[in-house]
Amino acid sequence: MKKTARLFKALSDETRLRILSLLTEGELCVCDLMATLELPQSTVSRHLAYLRNAGFIEDQRRGVWMYYCLADESGPLVRELLALLERQLDKLVQAEQDKTALQIYLAQKNDTACS
């Protein structure tokens, strides 16, 4: 029961929901999330750690940067919640604005920014 409660607690924050919505677009560097959400690295990293500890996302270090993606090896409840979130978050104005901001940022981003 505690693990299930931790899953729902992870989803109870707007910033974490915004991050999950952006990660439905694919793997992103922490700098991509910082720029899109207009939040400092410490804030983004704290929310990413919370989502990782709950089992929603996975991370991978490449040089000095961390890259994040939705968890592939998650349990059935996490998979169901992620599928539901992907369908429902796409209907929200904030999620649409975030994804547009991400696309603009990625189009202008220097290819070596996170290398």
Range 17-41 average pLDDT = 95
Q: Is residue 17 part of a domain?
A: yes
Q: Stretch 29-50: mean pLDDT, rounded?
A: 95
Question: Is 6 part of a structural domain of the chain?
Answer: yes
Domain contains 90? yes
49-81 pLDDT, tens digit each: 999 999 999 999 988 888 999 998 778 889 899
Give this prediction's pTM: 0.91
Structural domain includes residue 110: no
Residue 98 lies in a domain: yes
Phi, psi of 65, deg, nearest 5: -100, 150
Q: Mean pLDDT, the chain, as a whole number?
A: 91
* Residues 80-104 pLDDT 10s: 999 999 999 989 999 999 999 999 9
Q: Is residue 32 part of a domain?
A: yes
Which residue type, as a one-letter code, is found at position 71?
Answer: A
State residue 63's pLDDT score. Answer: 87
Indicate which CATH number applies to the domain containing 21. Answer: 1.10.10.10
pLDDT at position 2, please?
85
Domains of the chain: total: 1
* Domain membership flag for residue 113: no
Is the pLDDT score of 30 beyond 80? Answer: yes
pLDDT at 112: 57
Q: Does a structural domain hold residue 11?
A: yes
